[in-house]
Amino acid sequence: MILNHIWGLYAHPKEEWQVIEKRHESLLYSLIHICTIALIPSICGYFAAAHIGWTIGVGDPIKLSNTNAIVMAVIFYFTLVVGVAALAYLIHWMARTFDSSPDFTQSLELAAYTATPLLMVGIVALYPVLWFVVLACVCAMAYSVYLLYSGVPIMMNIPEEEGFIYASSVVTCGLVLLVGLLAAMIILFGVGLGPEVLHIFN
């Protein structure tokens, strides 16, 4: 069943990582998991931008046209999927440094389930107040980092001491990847591919 590890990752993460490691699900399974979960922030972001309006600081909510909101949601969706896949590649590439030899499916599983809280928190976009969304995302990121630290030793089959260093390296590379993706989006907006504001409401 798709998404059947989500509850375990929140209720008993270490035990759930053991279950994930023993099952060694297929590459397709992990891809479907990523593609399904990435729909949450994309759809909620679209609905917030096109139908509710974002509140940024003091001022009236801002909405986008339906077309712009759809385009932004599609770009955001594929950016999320590619970002998780890139994180999996980094995990796989760095494994050799720590005398671990996972296949790419294991690396993708680790990336997919680690990123799950960050993707699922996208539902808070249905209450599109900037400070609230940022606070929720920070909490989700903290839990994703915790999942990474608890999952690396189990999924990569290495001692916990090495797993801590491995996970720290992945977090560092992941932050660089995140900054790179944000920079790419800013560049796209700068050359005129950004959305246009439709209305400002009272």
pLDDT cut 70: percent of the chain above it: 87
- Tell me how far apart the alpha carbons of residues 84 and 38 are, in angstroms, rounded to a whole number: 10
**pLDDT for the residue numbered 7:** 86
Higher pLDDT among residues 113 and 3, named by residue: 113
Long-range residue pairs from 108-111, CB within 8 A, at least 24 positions apart, any chain? 108/27, 108/30, 108/31, 108/34, 109/20, 109/25, 109/30, 109/155, 110/148, 110/151, 110/152, 110/155, 110/156, 111/84, 111/85, 111/87
Higher pLDDT among residues 1 and 55, named by residue: 55
Answer whether 94's CB lies under 8 Å from 173's CB: yes
pLDDT of 114 above 90: yes
Q: What is the band of 199 on the pLDDT scale with cuts at 50, 70, 90?
A: very low
pLDDT of 63 above 50: yes
pLDDT of 15 above 80: yes
Mean pLDDT, the chain, whole residue set:
83
**pLDDT for the residue numbered 195:** 52
Strands (E), the chain: 62-64, 197-200
pLDDT of 76 above 90: no
pLDDT of 201 above 50: no
Mean pLDDT along residues 179-188: 70
Q: What is the band of 95 on the pLDDT scale with cuts at 50, 70, 90?
A: confident
The terminus-to-terminus CA distance of the chain in angstroms comes to 45
- Spatial CB neighbours of 74, under 8 Å, sequence gap ≥ 6: 42
Mean pLDDT along residues 169-187: 77
**For the whole model, what pTM was predicted?**
0.84
